[in-house]
Amino acid sequence: MVNRIAVTMAMPRPSLARADHHPMAPDLNIDRTVSRGSSSSSSARKGGGGGGIVFVVNPKGANGRTVEEWKKLLPHLRSRLGRDYNIYESFTSGPSHAMDITREAIREEADAVVAVGGDGTLHEVVNGFFWAGKPVCACEHDRNKTTALGLIPLGTGSDFARTLCWRNDPHEAVERIARGLKTRIDVGVINGDIGEPHYFINVADIHLSAKAGYYASRYKQFGNLCYIIGALRGFMGHTNRDFKIKVNGGEWKVFPQVTAICIGNAKYFGGGMKITPNADPRDGNLEVVILQNFKWYDFILKLHRLYNGTHLSVKNVTSMRVQSIEVEEVEDSGSVYVQSDGEHLGFLPRKFSILPAAIEMLC
């Protein structure tokens, strides 16, 4: 009889030397067809020799509430999935660990890696699908095998789940995994003058909103209130800046007195603010929203419009759909913040591009 008890697995942190020995997958074809894994052919099925499903859990997420919710969910998850799938759980031990777990799981031919937590955990798992600017792939038996991305939203913020109209309900998430339906989603990529590319699945942003996000990350213990605290801290000493912007490799154009730039693969950030309301992670575009010459009182007066996504008609708001956008300061101060999916990435200049249909996701 097949053992139905879930196995706990602690993934090792792969070294750079070891990673260099693993071949990378070829460029992904743009095919967004929703597919279902076959019960007879899926390698995740018990007894089929597959890699199973790896659940990546941040035990410190939402001030420890994530791991408590995970423990409550686990008996149901085992009951619903354990009959057919090998189930592994791996707890992160610090920043970037979820990336290492994900890369190791893909190389070990996992059928899916599921982020358990908020947008921060999802962000790291997505970055784990890439290494040295290319997709990671299974290293031994089948280099064409793909590992799907999954999500059980349990953290402070679940903004990406909002774009897909998913409720913050872990039992519904388990049902999505059990159905096995998959679709390809786009991923944003950020390049600087030096260093490796960085990837985002939700929203990247520049200047005031990125600075606010940087401070908000320090107050996660206050739940969604951290975004308000971060905004107040961000306004302290803030000045609008003149930027140079190049869209889709065209000519540079100056945008004066920019308050913030938001670059959306998805619609929401900051705990439910619908900042890029026309973004769709399946259309091969990024939506860029530029706020110019905003004062602190503008955010108070127009906050409701930012949250419900009706701000695109407001004065000094520009929206465009792009495949790539480069942003620099007119006078380089080296102090304009950049973040993606709530993670601080440093400062301008940066180039943002879209990778269409880059990852297969359980939907």
Q: Which residues are catalytic?
A: 119
Helix (H) or strand (E) holding 171: helix 170-179
- Going by C-alpha positions, the residue among 87, 132, 84 that lies closest to residue 112 is 87
d(CA 70, CA 319): 39
d(CA 42, CA 36): 10
170 contacts 117 by C-beta, under 8 angstroms: no
Q: What is the dihedral of CA 14, 197, 102, 185, to 10 degrees?
A: -160
d(CA 139, CA 299): 50
Residue 12, token pair as written in the block = 């090792």
- Tracing tokens 């959306």 back to the chain, one arrives at 264
Amino acid, res. 52? G
Residue 352, token pair as written in the block = 């943002």
CA-to-CA separations, 231 to 112, 218, 245, 259, in angstroms, rounded: 36, 12, 25, 13
- 3 state DSSP class of 133: coil
71 contacts 109 by C-beta, under 8 angstroms: no
d(CA 4, CA 203): 39
- 3 state DSSP class of 114: strand
The alpha carbon of residue 178 and the mean position of all alpha carbons in its chain are separated, in whole angstroms, by 22
d(CA 169, CA 303): 27
Residue 28, token pair as written in the block = 């992904």
Cβ contacts of 315 within 8 Å, gap of 6 or more: none
Q: What is the DSSP letter of 283?
A: S
151 contacts 161 by C-beta, under 8 angstroms: yes
